[in-house]
Amino acid sequence: MNKMMTRKEFLKSAALGASALMCAGTGYGFLGKSTHCSGSIRGRITKNDAPEKPWKWAIEGFHYASDGKKVQCQVCPNRCTLGPGDRSICRSKVNIGGKLYSLAYGNPCAIHLDPIEKKPLAHFYPRTKAFSMATTGCNFRCLNCQNWEISQKKPEQVEHMTLFPQEAVKTALEKGARSIAYTYSEAITFYEYMFDTARLARQAHIKNVLISNGYINRKPLLSLCRYLDGANINLKSFDNAIYGCLNGGTLHPVLETFKTLHEQGVWFEMTTLVVPTYVDEPEMIKRMCAWILKNLGPDYPLHLLRFFPQYKLTRLPATPIATLEELRRIALDQGIRYVYLGNVPGHSGTQTYCHQCQKVIVRRKGYWIKEIHMKDGKCTYCGSPIPGRWDQI
């Protein structure tokens, strides 16, 4: 079920522009002179036009079922069942002729070279660069989305470039990236593109990093884990009702993703955006930490991020720093060894403290590392092993 248009066929059908354009989404740009932007795409795939052939940026889906007419995507728990011409919740999958196609393959709308600390990953090869890439689409509808300009769009609604997996890996190597990060929108919605890129990246000795809401079924996740080295998974809250009203999803599949990553030996860190009146209840954080300790252990870092009003939650204030400090204290008291505060530059909660001697072993200023006091993955002060993925520093 993985039949793809050849590169020759693709390039023949595509009207490629000659210059790189800035993409939709603040702060994202295109890198490299060998890539091209398609220009504005105005076409749509709907029941009305019911095309016989897929859109030019298309690959047959990797995980789906079909009865010859209807299809069901099986990548994420939404399990969208689509009639002919129907579009998935993530806006990136469509039923064409009884087959499921991804429209988000080789057409990123955002790429950038980022410090790995921006993902955020605090215990994963610090001071290295991540070649970050995204297409449009998301399987959630978060009211507080930070990248709605691309996550809540269809592939044909934004300016994008042509970057097949082989080219993405080549560009990452040229830019000196230690890893490729699948990020910005929701990487699960461009699963096929991510999977093929990750496979080639592994062959080129480049690390693969998933930045995601974790809303994925076990079978496709297990397949992806063969090539994953790290992840940062958003734990939006620890309340199913809040997941429903704030994010448009459910909690249980995300918890199962954490279990699977842990089981498969993929290093991951957790991120919770502390949204006032939704995700700032101390008792919720206590329940969340209790689950983490019971099922995952104390060593995976937890990032508590400060919320700023935007998208559909402009009525709310920014998270008080005092609230973040209280929740960090609670998480540490519960037994999570590494708890970070995000979106509060210069705060002491952004540093890495050895869980044994409590001395600062990684000192940060924003996303930049100023000092590292570790050797062979151990604290240089007391010799305690520090959980994570480290170079020989």
Instruction: Quote the DSSP letter at residue 245.
Output: I
pLDDT attached to residue 58: 87
Query: Is the domain of 153 the same as that of 247?
Result: yes
pLDDT of 126-152, one tens digit each? Answer: 999 999 999 999 999 999 998 889 999
| Global confidence as pTM | 0.86
Query: Is the domain of 236 the same as that of 144?
Result: yes
Distance of CA 178 to the CA centre of its chain: 17
Q: What's the mean pLDDT in 342-361?
A: 97
Query: Is the domain of 203 the same as that of 304?
Result: yes
pLDDT score of 57 more than 60: yes
Indicate the pairing of strand 179-182 with strand 129-134: parallel
pLDDT attached to residue 54: 57
**Amino acid of residue 94:** V
Question: Does the residue 373 lie in any domain?
Answer: yes
Query: Is the domain of 346 the same as that of 359?
Result: no
**Amino acid of residue 264:** Q
| Nearest of 149, 145, 138, 205 to residue 177 by alpha carbon | 205
pLDDT of 210-262, one tens digit each? Answer: 999 999 999 999 999 999 999 999 999 999 999 999 999 999 999 999 999 99
Question: Does the residue 311 lie in any domain?
Answer: yes
Q: Print the domain residue range for 387.
A: 351-393
Q: How many domains does the chain have?
A: 2
* CATH number of the structural domain spanning residue 246: 3.20.20.70
Sheet holding 368-372, edge to edge: 352-353, 360-365, 368-372
- The C-alpha atoms of residue 77 and residue 24 are separated, in whole angstroms, by 28
Query: Is the domain of 180 the same as that of 142?
Result: yes
Query: Is the domain of 253 the same as that of 366?
Result: no
Query: Is the domain of 190 the same as that of 307?
Result: yes
pLDDT attached to residue 36: 26
pLDDT attached to residue 392: 58
Secondary-structure percent of the chain, ordered helix, strand, coil, rounded to 5: 25, 25, 50
Question: Does the residue 291 lie in any domain?
Answer: yes
Query: Is the domain of 160 the same as that of 276?
Result: yes
Query: Is the domain of 380 the same as that of 356?
Result: yes
| Structure confidence at residue 55 as a pLDDT band (50, 70, 90) | low
pLDDT score of 345 more than 70: yes
